Amino acid sequence: MKLFIYPNFEKPHSRECTSAVISMMSELGCEVSLPIKCRGETDAAGVSFLPPEEGAGGCDIMISVGGDGTILKCAQLASVHDKKLLGINCGRLGFMASLERREISALKRLVDGDYTVDERMMLDIEITREGGGVSLCALNEAVISGGYGSGIRDFEVYADGVQVSSLRADGLIFSTPTGASAYSLSAGGPLIEPSLDCIEFTQICPHSLFARTMLFSPEKLIEVKFSAEGGCEASVIADGRKPEALSDADRLTIKRSEKRLKLIDILGGAYFRAVNSKLMKPVKAEDDVKGGEL
């Protein structure tokens, strides 16, 4: 089995976790490679260093060692090359990770094929403009907003050519079910089980008393228009990457991507375990304290 390990050495404990994973999987007979930028960052023996595209294209399974941001970076490579991805959390939340770093002994199940694979929907974001356009792909979300201090904007949202919303807001979030637990959740959106396919539309600080999240069928083609009156700027950000500037003459569309991320779940029930232990933890901890006082 060939493994391509993509670590984020800026995360605490990621170096020792990466070394432990390399040692364990090498002993199990796996061929291990890392991105070329990691050369000199680890003293593990028997490891090859490859450009990310080559490493992802030639492996059987990708392993991300870091936080959710590291998984998002790997998701782009994994989906393009149709590879399975496993996340090991060395960050703060690690909501999409299958394992915490203390659980890496479970990695031996990879060799035995003792795991399940969750296929996650992704989004294609297209910006069409005179002289060319931009194509983006996102596992979590596409965020349409402006820079600091640029003011509230007027937006129009269309589904298959029919207007479904005209609003004023700081911005808009279009997320997958995977991304429902990220920015959209903080903006008041609901959790959505990742096995569902839909496009979630959540407004950021809308100037309305009645704003609610809307769910679209995954077959819908979403189009967003905005007004640039008063010098208001806007941009679209896919999965937290570099913003792409927008003008009101651009055509911005969002739809379900043909690419899907194959996310490995080794211990089973990773999503609901994460909801219970990570998103509900502050509430549960508070209840425990109150219970102790009684």
Count, residues in the chain: 294
Active site residue 68: yes
Pure H helices in the chain: 14-27, 52-58, 68-80, 108-112, 183-186, 270-274, 281-293
Per the CB < 8 A criterion, the answer to whether 140 and 72 are in contact is yes
DSSP 8-state symbol, 230: G
CA distances for 124 relative to 5, 218, 252, 280, angstroms: 26, 12, 11, 31
Q: Which among 277, 292, 283 is positioned nearest to 100, based on CA atoms? A: 277
Angle (CA) 126 192 127, round 5°: 5
Catalytic residue among 60, 68, 154, 287: 68
3-state helix, strand, coil in the chain (%, to 5): 30, 40, 35
CA distances for 86 relative to 36, 44, 100, 117, 219, angstroms: 20, 20, 11, 9, 28
Q: Enumerate helices (H) and strands (E) in the chain, giving the number of each.
A: 7, 18
Pairing assessment for the beta strands 99-100 and 84-89 based on DSSP bridges: parallel
Per the CB < 8 A criterion, the answer to whether 174 and 254 are in contact is yes
Catalytic machinery residues: 68
